[in-house]
């Protein structure tokens, strides 16, 4: 018999235009029961699409405390529902936590929920972090900070303001 566990319905658009946008993590109990999760299948579904848009089946020889599931292909559009099923001899599936994260994947030079903000990366072809605008290549000349959005002119003004205070 197959057990189905709906993890979250109505995720509000988890995922993006690229498989990099969807990152499920499945945590099992560490105090007993790790083996109960072994062999599980995780499926991701979208509204208006027949069948799963992504399927992952655990094939590890031994149980893990955390399963990080990284999609192997592009997922077009937001994921709305994730479910976990188990077909093993054990009738019990034990989960500690399921975490599903996703972001919109923006074109190079853009970031934000709707890709409407400009990145300020040293490498203009780099994909900056979609949530913050930060860059692995560092900030473009004239910008600083973790998000590369603080202009050097603004740092000087802020420094002068704090001296006057």
Q: 93 and 20 in one domain?
A: yes
Q: 124 and 89 in one domain?
A: no
pLDDT in tens, 109-138: 888 777 888 899 998 888 888 778 888 889
| Contact status, residue 27 vs residue 84, Cβ threshold 8 Å | no
Of 82, 102, 122, the one marking the end of a domain is 102
Structure tokens, 48: 């208006």
Q: 114 and 98 in one domain?
A: no
Considering the entire predicted model, what is its pTM? 0.51
CATH code: domain of residue 19: 2.60.120.260
Structure tokens, 128: 């900056």
Cβ–Cβ contacts within 10 Å for residue 39, how many?
18
Q: 114 and 96 in one domain?
A: no
Q: 90 and 13 in one domain?
A: yes
| Contact status, residue 82 vs residue 98, Cβ threshold 8 Å | yes
Q: 72 and 19 in one domain?
A: yes
Structure tokens, 81: 């529902």
Domain that holds residue 36: 3-102
Of 52, 84, 102, the one marking the end of a domain is 102
Q: One digit per residue, pLDDT tens: the chain, 165 residues? A: 334 443 433 333 344 333 345 656 676 666 777 777 788 888 888 888 889 988 888 888 888 877 777 777 767 777 778 888 887 666 777 777 777 766 667 787 888 777 888 899 998 888 888 778 888 889 999 898 888 888 765 544 444 555 555
Of 102, 124, 151, the one marking the end of a domain is 102
How many domains, the chain?
A: 2
Q: 98 and 39 in one domain?
A: yes
Q: 89 and 52 in one domain?
A: yes
């Amino acid at each position: 018999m197959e057990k189905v566990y709906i993890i979250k319905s109505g995720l509000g658009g988890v995922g993006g235009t690229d498989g990099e946008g969807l990152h499920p993590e499945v945590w099992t109990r560490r105090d007993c029961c790790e083996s109960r999760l072994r062999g599980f299948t995780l499926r991701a579904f979208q509204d208006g699409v027949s069948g799963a848009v992504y399927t992952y089946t655990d094939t590890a020889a031994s149980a893990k405390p955390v399963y990080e599931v990284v999609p192997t292909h592009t997922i077009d559009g937001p994921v709305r529902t994730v479910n976990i099923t188990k077909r093993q001899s054990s009738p019990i599936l034990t989960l500690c936590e399921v975490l599903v994260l996703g972001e919109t994947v923006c074109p190079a030079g853009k970031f934000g929920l709707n890709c409407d903000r400009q990145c300020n990366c040293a490498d203009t072809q780099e994909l900056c972090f979609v949530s913050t605008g930060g860059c692995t290549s560092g900030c473009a000349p004239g910008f600083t900070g973790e998000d590369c959005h603080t202009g050097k002119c603004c740092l000087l003004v802020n420094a002068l303001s704090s001296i006057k205070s």
